[in-house]
Structure 1
Protein backbone atom coordinates (compact mmCIF):
# COMPACT_ATOMS: atom_id res chain seq x y z
CA UNK A 1 0.00 0.00 0.00
CA UNK A 2 2.86 2.36 0.88
CA UNK A 3 4.59 1.68 -2.46
CA UNK A 4 1.36 2.41 -4.32
CA UNK A 5 0.91 5.68 -2.43
CA UNK A 6 4.49 6.75 -3.17
CA UNK A 7 4.05 5.87 -6.85
CA UNK A 8 0.82 7.87 -7.14
CA UNK A 9 2.30 10.78 -5.20
CA UNK A 10 5.35 10.91 -7.49
CA UNK A 11 3.19 10.79 -10.62
CA UNK A 12 0.87 13.51 -9.31
CA UNK A 13 3.84 15.78 -8.55
CA UNK A 14 5.19 15.11 -12.04
CA UNK A 15 1.84 15.91 -13.64
CA UNK A 16 1.66 19.18 -11.69
CA UNK A 17 5.17 20.19 -12.81
CA UNK A 18 4.46 19.22 -16.43
CA UNK A 19 1.30 21.31 -16.54
CA UNK A 20 3.09 24.25 -14.92
CA UNK A 21 5.87 24.05 -17.52
CA UNK A 22 3.47 25.28 -20.23
CA UNK A 23 2.46 28.37 -18.23
CA UNK A 24 5.38 29.10 -15.89
CA UNK A 25 8.35 27.16 -17.35
CA UNK A 26 10.99 28.74 -15.10
CA UNK A 27 9.01 28.11 -11.95
CA UNK A 28 8.30 24.54 -13.07
CA UNK A 29 11.99 23.77 -13.62
CA UNK A 30 12.87 25.33 -10.25
CA UNK A 31 10.28 23.14 -8.56
CA UNK A 32 11.56 20.04 -10.35
CA UNK A 33 15.11 20.80 -9.23
CA UNK A 34 13.95 21.46 -5.66
CA UNK A 35 12.26 18.05 -5.44
CA UNK A 36 15.37 16.39 -6.85
CA UNK A 37 17.96 18.15 -4.68
CA UNK A 38 16.15 18.40 -1.32
CA UNK A 39 16.52 15.37 0.98
CA UNK A 40 13.38 14.34 2.86
CA UNK A 41 15.18 12.52 5.68
CA UNK A 42 18.60 12.57 7.31
CA UNK A 43 18.34 15.68 9.48
CA UNK A 44 19.38 15.58 13.14
CA UNK A 45 18.45 17.47 16.30
CA UNK A 46 21.17 18.87 18.56
CA UNK A 47 19.10 17.86 21.55
CA UNK A 48 18.68 14.26 20.45
CA UNK A 49 21.90 13.16 18.76
CA UNK A 50 22.57 9.44 18.28
CA UNK A 51 24.84 8.06 21.00
CA UNK A 52 27.80 7.56 18.67
CA UNK A 53 27.78 11.28 17.81
CA UNK A 54 27.39 12.28 21.46
CA UNK A 55 30.73 10.57 22.07
CA UNK A 56 32.50 12.87 19.59
CA UNK A 57 33.85 16.40 19.69
CA UNK A 58 31.57 18.51 17.50
CA UNK A 59 32.57 21.55 15.49
CA UNK A 60 30.49 23.81 13.25
CA UNK A 61 32.08 25.46 10.22
CA UNK A 62 30.75 28.50 8.40
CA UNK A 63 31.04 28.53 4.62
CA UNK A 64 29.49 31.43 2.73
CA UNK A 65 25.80 31.51 3.72
CA UNK A 66 25.84 27.96 5.06
CA UNK A 67 27.22 26.07 8.04
CA UNK A 68 28.15 22.43 8.26
CA UNK A 69 28.87 20.05 11.10
CA UNK A 70 31.80 17.75 11.86
CA UNK A 71 32.30 15.11 14.56
CA UNK A 72 35.74 14.04 15.78
CA UNK A 73 36.79 10.96 17.72
CA UNK A 74 40.31 11.82 18.86
CA UNK A 75 43.19 9.43 18.32
CA UNK A 76 46.67 9.57 16.87
CA UNK A 77 48.04 11.45 13.85
CA UNK A 78 46.51 9.02 11.36
CA UNK A 79 43.29 10.73 10.32
CA UNK A 80 40.27 9.30 8.49
CA UNK A 81 37.43 11.38 7.05
CA UNK A 82 33.99 9.74 6.64
CA UNK A 83 31.59 11.05 3.98
CA UNK A 84 28.00 9.75 4.15
CA UNK A 85 25.42 9.53 1.38
CA UNK A 86 21.96 10.76 0.40
CA UNK A 87 19.29 11.16 3.13
CA UNK A 88 21.73 10.01 5.81
CA UNK A 89 24.09 11.66 8.29
CA UNK A 90 27.32 11.09 10.19
CA UNK A 91 25.73 8.50 12.50
CA UNK A 92 25.59 5.97 9.63
CA UNK A 93 29.24 5.15 10.37
CA UNK A 94 28.56 3.65 13.80
CA UNK A 95 29.09 0.05 12.64
CA UNK A 96 32.48 0.65 11.05
CA UNK A 97 33.79 2.84 13.86
CA UNK A 98 35.23 0.04 16.07
CA UNK A 99 37.36 -1.22 13.18
CA UNK A 100 38.74 2.23 12.47
CA UNK A 101 39.32 3.24 16.08
CA UNK A 102 41.03 -0.07 16.87
CA UNK A 103 44.00 1.29 14.90
CA UNK A 104 44.19 4.29 17.23
CA UNK A 105 43.36 6.65 14.36
CA UNK A 106 41.55 9.96 14.67
CA UNK A 107 38.20 9.65 12.91
CA UNK A 108 36.23 12.62 11.57
CA UNK A 109 32.73 12.47 10.10
CA UNK A 110 30.91 15.24 8.27
CA UNK A 111 27.24 16.07 7.72
CA UNK A 112 26.46 16.82 4.08
CA UNK A 113 24.62 19.96 2.93
CA UNK A 114 20.97 19.78 4.08
CA UNK A 115 21.73 16.67 6.17
CA UNK A 116 22.40 16.02 9.84
CA UNK A 117 23.11 19.31 11.61
CA UNK A 118 24.31 21.07 8.46
CA UNK A 119 22.20 23.92 7.11
CA UNK A 120 20.28 24.35 3.90
CA UNK A 121 17.65 22.52 1.88
CA UNK A 122 19.67 21.82 -1.26
CA UNK A 123 22.22 19.04 -1.69
CA UNK A 124 24.78 19.06 -4.48
CA UNK A 125 28.02 17.17 -4.99
CA UNK A 126 30.12 20.31 -5.73
CA UNK A 127 28.89 22.00 -2.54
CA UNK A 128 29.59 18.84 -0.53
CA UNK A 129 33.08 18.79 -2.03
CA UNK A 130 33.63 22.38 -0.89
CA UNK A 131 32.79 21.32 2.67
CA UNK A 132 35.16 18.36 2.39
CA UNK A 133 37.97 20.60 1.16
CA UNK A 134 37.65 22.87 4.19
CA UNK A 135 37.84 19.85 6.49
CA UNK A 136 40.78 18.32 4.61
CA UNK A 137 42.70 21.58 4.71
CA UNK A 138 42.21 21.90 8.47
CA UNK A 139 42.53 18.30 9.68
CA UNK A 140 44.70 16.86 6.87
CA UNK A 141 43.26 13.33 6.71
CA UNK A 142 45.26 10.71 4.85
CA UNK A 143 42.22 8.52 4.19
CA UNK A 144 38.70 9.19 2.87
CA UNK A 145 35.78 6.76 3.09
CA UNK A 146 32.56 7.57 1.22
CA UNK A 147 29.25 5.72 1.00
CA UNK A 148 26.78 6.02 -1.89
CA UNK A 149 26.60 9.60 -3.22
CA UNK A 150 29.22 10.44 -0.57
CA UNK A 151 31.56 8.06 -2.38
CA UNK A 152 30.85 9.80 -5.67
CA UNK A 153 31.57 13.11 -3.93
CA UNK A 154 34.93 11.81 -2.70
CA UNK A 155 35.85 10.89 -6.26
CA UNK A 156 34.72 14.29 -7.55
CA UNK A 157 36.60 16.06 -4.75
CA UNK A 158 39.92 14.35 -5.35
CA UNK A 159 39.69 14.62 -9.14
CA UNK A 160 39.06 18.39 -8.90
CA UNK A 161 41.27 19.36 -5.95
CA UNK A 162 44.02 16.72 -6.43
CA UNK A 163 44.89 17.00 -2.75
CA UNK A 164 48.32 15.50 -2.07
CA UNK A 165 47.42 14.92 1.58
CA UNK A 166 44.99 12.12 0.66
CA UNK A 167 46.77 8.76 0.24
CA UNK A 168 43.94 6.21 0.09
CA UNK A 169 40.22 6.23 -0.58
CA UNK A 170 37.44 3.70 0.09
CA UNK A 171 34.26 3.90 -2.00
CA UNK A 172 31.22 1.91 -0.79
CA UNK A 173 28.10 1.35 -2.91
CA UNK A 174 28.61 4.51 -4.93
CA UNK A 175 26.86 5.49 -8.17
CA UNK A 176 29.05 6.34 -11.13
CA UNK A 177 26.95 8.23 -13.65
CA UNK A 178 25.01 11.19 -12.27
CA UNK A 179 23.08 11.27 -15.52
CA UNK A 180 21.48 7.93 -14.60
CA UNK A 181 20.33 9.32 -11.22
CA UNK A 182 18.77 12.35 -12.86
CA UNK A 183 17.10 10.36 -15.61
CA UNK A 184 15.71 7.88 -13.05
CA UNK A 185 14.15 10.83 -11.25
CA UNK A 186 12.71 12.19 -14.50
CA UNK A 187 11.25 8.77 -15.29
CA UNK A 188 9.83 8.36 -11.78
CA UNK A 189 7.88 11.61 -12.08
CA UNK A 190 7.24 11.18 -15.84
CA UNK A 191 8.57 14.69 -16.46
CA UNK A 192 8.30 16.05 -19.99
CA UNK A 193 11.17 16.92 -22.32
CA UNK A 194 11.02 20.65 -21.47
CA UNK A 195 11.69 19.95 -17.79
CA UNK A 196 14.32 17.33 -18.61
CA UNK A 197 16.22 19.82 -20.77
CA UNK A 198 15.88 22.54 -18.13
CA UNK A 199 17.33 20.27 -15.43
CA UNK A 200 20.32 19.37 -17.59
CA UNK A 201 20.86 23.07 -18.37
CA UNK A 202 20.75 23.90 -14.65
CA UNK A 203 23.70 21.59 -13.96
CA UNK A 204 25.67 22.95 -16.89
CA UNK A 205 25.02 26.58 -15.87
CA UNK A 206 25.66 26.14 -12.14
CA UNK A 207 28.38 23.50 -12.02
CA UNK A 208 30.01 23.96 -15.46
CA UNK A 209 29.79 20.25 -16.16
CA UNK A 210 27.86 18.38 -18.80
CA UNK A 211 25.97 15.48 -17.26
CA UNK A 212 28.01 12.91 -19.20
CA UNK A 213 31.14 14.38 -17.59
CA UNK A 214 29.61 14.18 -14.11
CA UNK A 215 30.77 10.62 -13.73
CA UNK A 216 32.53 8.66 -10.99
CA UNK A 217 34.10 6.56 -13.71
CA UNK A 218 35.66 9.68 -15.22
CA UNK A 219 36.66 11.11 -11.84
CA UNK A 220 38.37 7.84 -10.87
CA UNK A 221 40.42 7.85 -14.08
CA UNK A 222 42.14 11.01 -12.84
CA UNK A 223 43.27 9.52 -9.51
CA UNK A 224 46.76 8.31 -8.68
CA UNK A 225 46.02 7.36 -5.07
CA UNK A 226 45.22 3.83 -3.90
CA UNK A 227 41.54 2.93 -3.90
CA UNK A 228 39.19 0.25 -2.63
CA UNK A 229 35.73 -0.06 -4.20
CA UNK A 230 33.10 -2.34 -2.65
CA UNK A 231 29.66 -3.00 -4.10
CA UNK A 232 26.96 -5.54 -3.43
CA UNK A 233 25.39 -7.60 -6.22
CA UNK A 234 22.03 -7.30 -4.41
CA UNK A 235 22.13 -3.49 -4.17
CA UNK A 236 18.66 -2.33 -5.27
CA UNK A 237 19.47 1.38 -4.84
CA UNK A 238 22.65 1.64 -6.92
CA UNK A 239 23.33 -0.97 -9.59
CA UNK A 240 26.31 -3.26 -9.06
CA UNK A 241 27.51 -2.23 -12.53
CA UNK A 242 28.02 1.31 -11.24
CA UNK A 243 30.69 0.13 -8.82
CA UNK A 244 32.40 -1.84 -11.59
CA UNK A 245 32.42 1.27 -13.79
CA UNK A 246 34.23 3.26 -11.10
CA UNK A 247 36.81 0.55 -10.52
CA UNK A 248 37.38 -0.05 -14.24
CA UNK A 249 39.20 3.25 -14.81
CA UNK A 250 41.01 3.62 -11.48
CA UNK A 251 44.72 2.97 -12.00
CA UNK A 252 45.45 1.59 -8.54
CA UNK A 253 42.26 0.03 -7.20
CA UNK A 254 41.00 -3.12 -5.52
CA UNK A 255 37.40 -4.25 -6.00
CA UNK A 256 35.34 -6.22 -3.48
CA UNK A 257 32.15 -7.89 -4.63
CA UNK A 258 29.73 -8.70 -1.81
CA UNK A 259 26.39 -10.49 -1.76
CA UNK A 260 23.36 -10.11 0.51
CA UNK A 261 24.44 -6.83 2.10
CA UNK A 262 22.31 -4.52 -0.04
CA UNK A 263 23.08 -0.84 -0.34
CA UNK A 264 24.12 -0.22 3.27
CA UNK A 265 27.07 -2.66 3.08
CA UNK A 266 27.14 -3.01 6.86
CA UNK A 267 29.21 -6.14 7.44
CA UNK A 268 31.95 -7.08 9.90
CA UNK A 269 33.97 -9.00 7.32
CA UNK A 270 33.87 -6.11 4.85
CA UNK A 271 34.85 -3.61 7.52
CA UNK A 272 37.82 -5.78 8.49
CA UNK A 273 38.94 -5.68 4.86
CA UNK A 274 38.51 -1.91 4.74
CA UNK A 275 40.62 -1.49 7.87
CA UNK A 276 43.22 -3.88 6.47
CA UNK A 277 43.37 -1.90 3.23
CA UNK A 278 43.88 1.37 5.08
CA UNK A 279 46.51 0.17 7.52
CA UNK A 280 48.23 -2.67 5.65
CA UNK A 281 48.51 -3.98 2.09
CA UNK A 282 45.74 -6.32 1.00
CA UNK A 283 46.57 -9.69 -0.52
CA UNK A 284 44.30 -11.85 -2.72
CA UNK A 285 43.59 -14.07 0.29
CA UNK A 286 41.75 -11.15 1.89
CA UNK A 287 38.95 -11.56 -0.62
CA UNK A 288 39.36 -8.65 -3.02
CA UNK A 289 39.36 -8.91 -6.79
CA UNK A 290 41.61 -6.74 -8.92
CA UNK A 291 39.68 -5.59 -11.98
CA UNK A 292 42.82 -5.43 -14.06
CA UNK A 293 43.15 -9.19 -13.64
CA UNK A 294 40.25 -10.71 -15.54
CA UNK A 295 37.03 -9.13 -14.24
CA UNK A 296 36.01 -8.12 -17.72
CA UNK A 297 35.20 -4.43 -17.27
Structure 2
Protein backbone atom coordinates (compact mmCIF):
# COMPACT_ATOMS: atom_id res chain seq x y z
CA UNK A 1 0.00 0.00 0.00
CA UNK A 2 2.83 2.41 0.89
CA UNK A 3 4.54 1.46 -2.38
CA UNK A 4 1.42 2.44 -4.35
CA UNK A 5 1.17 5.72 -2.42
CA UNK A 6 4.83 6.49 -3.15
CA UNK A 7 4.35 5.80 -6.86
CA UNK A 8 1.25 8.02 -6.94
CA UNK A 9 3.14 10.79 -5.15
CA UNK A 10 6.00 10.58 -7.66
CA UNK A 11 3.57 10.74 -10.59
CA UNK A 12 1.75 13.74 -9.09
CA UNK A 13 4.99 15.64 -8.49
CA UNK A 14 6.19 14.81 -12.01
CA UNK A 15 2.97 16.20 -13.49
CA UNK A 16 3.42 19.35 -11.41
CA UNK A 17 7.00 19.80 -12.62
CA UNK A 18 5.89 19.34 -16.24
CA UNK A 19 3.12 21.95 -15.85
CA UNK A 20 5.59 24.39 -14.27
CA UNK A 21 7.94 23.90 -17.24
CA UNK A 22 5.08 24.41 -19.70
CA UNK A 23 4.09 27.60 -17.88
CA UNK A 24 7.45 29.07 -18.94
CA UNK A 25 7.38 28.03 -22.61
CA UNK A 26 3.65 27.56 -23.35
CA UNK A 27 1.52 29.23 -20.66
CA UNK A 28 -1.83 28.59 -22.39
CA UNK A 29 -1.10 24.88 -22.67
CA UNK A 30 0.00 24.82 -19.03
CA UNK A 31 -3.32 26.39 -17.99
CA UNK A 32 -5.31 23.91 -20.09
CA UNK A 33 -3.44 20.93 -18.63
CA UNK A 34 -3.61 22.11 -15.02
CA UNK A 35 -7.35 22.87 -15.31
CA UNK A 36 -7.98 19.46 -16.87
CA UNK A 37 -5.98 17.71 -14.14
CA UNK A 38 -8.01 19.58 -11.51
CA UNK A 39 -11.44 18.99 -13.05
CA UNK A 40 -11.17 15.65 -14.88
CA UNK A 41 -11.28 12.51 -12.68
CA UNK A 42 -8.75 9.80 -13.48
CA UNK A 43 -10.57 6.94 -11.72
CA UNK A 44 -14.18 6.13 -10.83
CA UNK A 45 -15.47 4.95 -14.20
CA UNK A 46 -17.42 1.68 -14.45
CA UNK A 47 -19.08 -0.15 -17.34
CA UNK A 48 -22.09 -2.44 -17.74
CA UNK A 49 -19.69 -5.30 -18.33
CA UNK A 50 -17.69 -4.55 -15.20
CA UNK A 51 -20.47 -3.44 -12.86
CA UNK A 52 -19.64 -3.85 -9.14
CA UNK A 53 -21.69 -6.57 -7.46
CA UNK A 54 -23.51 -4.14 -5.15
CA UNK A 55 -25.00 -2.37 -8.19
CA UNK A 56 -25.97 -5.43 -10.20
CA UNK A 57 -29.34 -6.26 -8.63
CA UNK A 58 -30.76 -2.75 -8.90
CA UNK A 59 -33.26 -0.97 -11.12
CA UNK A 60 -31.13 1.10 -13.48
CA UNK A 61 -32.19 4.26 -15.30
CA UNK A 62 -30.27 6.57 -17.59
CA UNK A 63 -31.36 10.21 -17.74
CA UNK A 64 -30.60 12.83 -20.38
CA UNK A 65 -29.71 16.36 -19.29
CA UNK A 66 -28.77 18.82 -22.03
CA UNK A 67 -25.74 17.25 -23.73
CA UNK A 68 -25.08 14.89 -20.82
CA UNK A 69 -26.54 11.61 -19.62
CA UNK A 70 -26.25 10.17 -16.15
CA UNK A 71 -26.94 6.85 -14.43
CA UNK A 72 -29.02 6.00 -11.38
CA UNK A 73 -29.42 2.74 -9.43
CA UNK A 74 -32.45 1.97 -7.26
CA UNK A 75 -32.88 -0.55 -4.45
CA UNK A 76 -36.67 -0.65 -4.22
CA UNK A 77 -38.41 -0.44 -0.86
CA UNK A 78 -41.17 1.55 0.84
CA UNK A 79 -42.31 5.12 0.27
CA UNK A 80 -39.43 6.66 2.23
CA UNK A 81 -36.79 7.51 -0.38
CA UNK A 82 -33.10 8.22 0.16
CA UNK A 83 -30.79 9.73 -2.49
CA UNK A 84 -27.06 8.92 -2.25
CA UNK A 85 -24.53 11.32 -3.80
CA UNK A 86 -20.89 10.15 -3.99
CA UNK A 87 -17.72 12.24 -4.22
CA UNK A 88 -14.65 12.79 -6.41
CA UNK A 89 -13.10 9.86 -8.31
CA UNK A 90 -15.75 7.45 -7.02
CA UNK A 91 -19.11 6.06 -8.11
CA UNK A 92 -22.35 4.68 -6.66
CA UNK A 93 -20.61 1.51 -5.47
CA UNK A 94 -18.94 3.53 -2.69
CA UNK A 95 -22.16 3.19 -0.69
CA UNK A 96 -21.82 -0.60 -0.29
CA UNK A 97 -20.90 -0.34 3.40
CA UNK A 98 -23.61 2.23 4.08
CA UNK A 99 -26.49 0.41 2.42
CA UNK A 100 -27.18 -2.27 5.09
CA UNK A 101 -27.90 0.41 7.70
CA UNK A 102 -30.29 2.28 5.40
CA UNK A 103 -32.00 -0.86 4.12
CA UNK A 104 -32.97 -1.89 7.67
CA UNK A 105 -35.58 0.87 7.50
CA UNK A 106 -37.11 -0.67 4.37
CA UNK A 107 -36.53 2.58 2.48
CA UNK A 108 -36.22 2.92 -1.28
CA UNK A 109 -32.63 3.95 -2.01
CA UNK A 110 -31.42 5.73 -5.14
CA UNK A 111 -27.73 6.28 -5.97
CA UNK A 112 -26.48 8.66 -8.63
CA UNK A 113 -23.28 8.56 -10.69
CA UNK A 114 -21.71 12.03 -10.87
CA UNK A 115 -20.64 13.76 -14.10
CA UNK A 116 -17.60 11.96 -15.58
CA UNK A 117 -17.93 9.18 -12.99
CA UNK A 118 -19.44 5.70 -12.94
CA UNK A 119 -21.55 5.22 -16.06
CA UNK A 120 -22.39 8.92 -16.45
CA UNK A 121 -21.09 10.90 -19.43
CA UNK A 122 -18.58 13.70 -19.67
CA UNK A 123 -14.92 14.37 -18.99
CA UNK A 124 -15.23 17.24 -16.52
CA UNK A 125 -16.58 17.21 -12.98
CA UNK A 126 -17.84 20.37 -11.26
CA UNK A 127 -20.31 21.16 -8.49
CA UNK A 128 -22.74 23.29 -10.55
CA UNK A 129 -23.25 20.50 -13.10
CA UNK A 130 -23.53 17.87 -10.37
CA UNK A 131 -26.23 19.98 -8.70
CA UNK A 132 -28.16 19.99 -11.98
CA UNK A 133 -28.02 16.19 -12.09
CA UNK A 134 -29.17 16.03 -8.46
CA UNK A 135 -32.08 18.35 -9.18
CA UNK A 136 -33.32 16.21 -12.05
CA UNK A 137 -33.19 13.09 -9.84
CA UNK A 138 -34.95 14.90 -6.98
CA UNK A 139 -37.76 15.96 -9.32
CA UNK A 140 -38.10 12.41 -10.65
CA UNK A 141 -37.94 10.39 -7.41
CA UNK A 142 -38.93 12.98 -4.77
CA UNK A 143 -36.57 11.68 -2.04
CA UNK A 144 -37.19 12.56 1.60
CA UNK A 145 -33.52 12.25 2.57
CA UNK A 146 -30.28 13.08 0.75
CA UNK A 147 -26.83 11.85 1.80
CA UNK A 148 -23.63 13.19 0.24
CA UNK A 149 -19.97 12.29 0.71
CA UNK A 150 -17.02 14.63 0.12
CA UNK A 151 -17.62 17.02 -2.77
CA UNK A 152 -20.88 15.16 -3.35
CA UNK A 153 -21.91 16.61 0.01
CA UNK A 154 -20.94 20.08 -1.22
CA UNK A 155 -23.11 19.51 -4.30
CA UNK A 156 -26.03 18.51 -2.03
CA UNK A 157 -25.68 21.72 -0.04
CA UNK A 158 -25.41 23.79 -3.21
CA UNK A 159 -28.49 22.08 -4.65
CA UNK A 160 -30.46 22.71 -1.46
CA UNK A 161 -29.46 26.38 -1.57
CA UNK A 162 -30.63 26.67 -5.19
CA UNK A 163 -33.80 24.61 -4.71
CA UNK A 164 -35.02 24.91 -1.10
CA UNK A 165 -38.63 23.91 -1.86
CA UNK A 166 -38.32 20.22 -2.72
CA UNK A 167 -39.31 16.88 -1.19
CA UNK A 168 -36.06 16.73 0.82
CA UNK A 169 -36.62 16.96 4.57
CA UNK A 170 -33.27 15.82 5.98
CA UNK A 171 -29.70 15.99 4.70
CA UNK A 172 -26.58 14.09 5.81
CA UNK A 173 -23.18 15.48 4.80
CA UNK A 174 -20.01 13.39 5.24
CA UNK A 175 -16.49 14.83 4.95
CA UNK A 176 -17.51 17.68 2.63
CA UNK A 177 -15.33 20.64 1.62
CA UNK A 178 -16.71 24.13 2.03
CA UNK A 179 -14.65 26.46 -0.15
CA UNK A 180 -13.69 25.81 -3.77
CA UNK A 181 -10.76 28.18 -3.27
CA UNK A 182 -9.43 25.90 -0.51
CA UNK A 183 -9.62 22.89 -2.85
CA UNK A 184 -7.71 24.82 -5.50
CA UNK A 185 -5.07 25.91 -2.97
CA UNK A 186 -4.64 22.28 -1.87
CA UNK A 187 -4.37 21.16 -5.50
CA UNK A 188 -1.64 23.72 -6.25
CA UNK A 189 0.23 22.68 -3.11
CA UNK A 190 -0.15 18.97 -3.93
CA UNK A 191 1.40 19.40 -7.38
CA UNK A 192 3.90 22.03 -6.17
CA UNK A 193 2.69 24.31 -8.95
CA UNK A 194 4.06 27.76 -9.63
CA UNK A 195 1.91 30.18 -7.53
CA UNK A 196 1.34 32.20 -10.72
CA UNK A 197 -1.00 29.40 -11.84
CA UNK A 198 -3.51 30.31 -9.11
CA UNK A 199 -4.91 33.54 -10.65
CA UNK A 200 -4.96 31.89 -14.09
CA UNK A 201 -7.06 28.99 -12.80
CA UNK A 202 -9.36 31.41 -10.98
CA UNK A 203 -9.94 33.29 -14.25
CA UNK A 204 -10.73 30.00 -15.97
CA UNK A 205 -13.44 29.27 -13.41
CA UNK A 206 -14.85 32.77 -13.78
CA UNK A 207 -14.97 32.27 -17.56
CA UNK A 208 -16.61 28.83 -17.37
CA UNK A 209 -19.11 29.33 -14.54
CA UNK A 210 -19.42 33.09 -14.11
CA UNK A 211 -18.42 33.09 -10.44
CA UNK A 212 -15.27 33.92 -8.52
CA UNK A 213 -13.75 31.23 -6.34
CA UNK A 214 -13.87 33.54 -3.32
CA UNK A 215 -17.65 33.69 -3.73
CA UNK A 216 -18.18 29.93 -3.92
CA UNK A 217 -18.42 28.78 -0.33
CA UNK A 218 -21.06 26.22 0.65
CA UNK A 219 -20.50 27.28 4.26
CA UNK A 220 -21.78 30.75 3.35
CA UNK A 221 -24.66 29.24 1.36
CA UNK A 222 -25.53 27.01 4.33
CA UNK A 223 -26.84 30.08 6.18
CA UNK A 224 -29.87 29.93 3.88
CA UNK A 225 -30.64 26.23 4.40
CA UNK A 226 -33.77 25.61 6.47
CA UNK A 227 -34.06 21.82 6.56
CA UNK A 228 -32.38 19.83 9.33
CA UNK A 229 -29.50 17.42 9.09
CA UNK A 230 -26.13 16.09 10.17
CA UNK A 231 -22.60 17.08 9.24
CA UNK A 232 -19.94 14.49 10.08
CA UNK A 233 -16.22 15.08 9.65
CA UNK A 234 -13.14 13.22 10.80
CA UNK A 235 -10.33 14.97 12.67
CA UNK A 236 -7.81 12.86 10.74
CA UNK A 237 -9.20 13.59 7.27
CA UNK A 238 -6.12 14.23 5.11
CA UNK A 239 -8.18 14.94 1.95
CA UNK A 240 -10.62 17.56 3.27
CA UNK A 241 -9.52 19.43 6.37
CA UNK A 242 -11.63 19.05 9.52
CA UNK A 243 -12.02 22.84 9.61
CA UNK A 244 -14.04 22.71 6.38
CA UNK A 245 -16.74 20.69 8.12
CA UNK A 246 -16.68 23.04 11.08
CA UNK A 247 -17.27 26.04 8.81
CA UNK A 248 -20.35 24.43 7.29
CA UNK A 249 -21.71 23.37 10.70
CA UNK A 250 -21.25 26.87 12.13
CA UNK A 251 -23.49 28.34 9.41
CA UNK A 252 -26.13 25.61 9.02
CA UNK A 253 -28.25 26.36 12.05
CA UNK A 254 -30.50 23.29 11.89
CA UNK A 255 -27.60 20.87 11.70
CA UNK A 256 -25.87 18.63 14.21
CA UNK A 257 -22.08 18.28 13.97
CA UNK A 258 -20.58 14.84 14.57
CA UNK A 259 -16.84 14.61 15.10
CA UNK A 260 -15.12 11.29 14.36
CA UNK A 261 -11.51 10.19 14.79
CA UNK A 262 -9.28 7.87 12.75
CA UNK A 263 -11.88 7.20 10.03
CA UNK A 264 -10.03 9.25 7.45
CA UNK A 265 -11.89 10.66 4.47
CA UNK A 266 -14.00 7.57 3.67
CA UNK A 267 -16.05 7.94 6.90
CA UNK A 268 -17.04 4.25 6.84
CA UNK A 269 -17.82 3.24 10.41
CA UNK A 270 -20.45 1.09 12.13
CA UNK A 271 -20.97 3.48 15.03
CA UNK A 272 -21.36 6.48 12.75
CA UNK A 273 -23.83 4.70 10.50
CA UNK A 274 -25.83 3.51 13.52
CA UNK A 275 -26.02 7.07 14.83
CA UNK A 276 -27.15 8.37 11.45
CA UNK A 277 -29.75 5.59 11.15
CA UNK A 278 -31.11 6.37 14.61
CA UNK A 279 -31.32 10.06 13.69
CA UNK A 280 -33.14 9.31 10.44
CA UNK A 281 -35.44 6.50 11.52
CA UNK A 282 -35.40 6.39 15.32
CA UNK A 283 -37.47 3.51 16.71
CA UNK A 284 -38.10 2.20 13.18
CA UNK A 285 -34.69 0.50 13.22
Contact 2:46 2:118 (8 Å CA) reproduced = yes
Task: Find 1:140's aligned residue among 124, 139, 142.
Answer: 142
Q: Which residue of 1 aligns with 2:177?
A: 175
Cα distance in 2, alignment partners of residues 107 and 266 from structure 1: 18
Q: Which residue of 2 aligns with 1:241?
A: 243
Q: Deviations over 1:193-238 (max 9, x none)?
A: 4422111111122222221222221121110000101111122221
User: Given the alignment of the two structures, is residue 59 of structure 1 paired with residue 61 of structure 2, yes or no?
Assistant: yes
User: Given the alignment of the two structures, is residue 275 of structure 1 paired with residue 255 of structure 2, yes or no?
Assistant: no
User: RMSD of the TM alignment (CA)?
Assistant: 1.7
1:1-297 counterparts in 2 under 5 A? 1-280=3-282
Count of equivalent residues:
281
Cα distance in 1, alignment partners of residues 94 and 8 from structure 2: 25
Q: Deviations over 1:260-294 (max 9, x none)?
A: 2211111122111112222249xxxxxxxxxxxxx
SS, match of residue 165 in structure 2:
coil
Instruction: After TM superposition, give the deviation of residue 111 of structure 1 in Å.
Output: 0.5
Cα distance in 2, alignment partners of residues 135 and 13 from structure 1: 36
Q: Deviations over 1:248-270 (max 9, x none)?
A: 11110111111222111111221
> Which has the larger displacement, 160-169 or 82-91?
160-169
Cα distance in 2, alignment partners of residues 46 and 208 from structure 1: 36
Contact 2:229 2:255 (8 Å CA) reproduced = yes
Cα distance in 1, alignment partners of residues 192 and 260 from structure 2: 33
Distance 1:107 1:16, change over 3 A: same
Q: Deviations over 1:30-50 (max 9, x none)?
A: 111001111111111211211
Distance 1:2 1:108, change over 3 A: closer
Cα distance in 2, alignment partners of residues 216 and 83 from structure 1: 16
Instruction: After TM superposition, give the deviation of residue 160 of structure 1 in Å.
Output: 1.7
Instruction: After TM superposition, give the deviation of residue 3 of structure 1 in Å.
Output: 4.3
Cα distance in 2, alignment partners of residues 81 and 93 from structure 1: 11
Cα distance in 1, alignment partners of residues 213 and 61 from structure 2: 34
> Which has the larger displacement, 185-194 or 44-53?
185-194
Structure 1: stretches of 5+ with no match in the other structure: 282-297
Q: Deviations over 1:106-157 (max 9, x none)?
A: 1000001111111122111111111101100111111110001111111111
Cα distance in 2, alignment partners of residues 277 and 156 from structure 1: 23
Q: Deviations over 1:90-115 (max 9, x none)?
A: 01111111221111211000001111
TM-score (normalised: structure 2): 0.93
Cα distance in 1, alignment partners of residues 125 and 83 from structure 2: 19
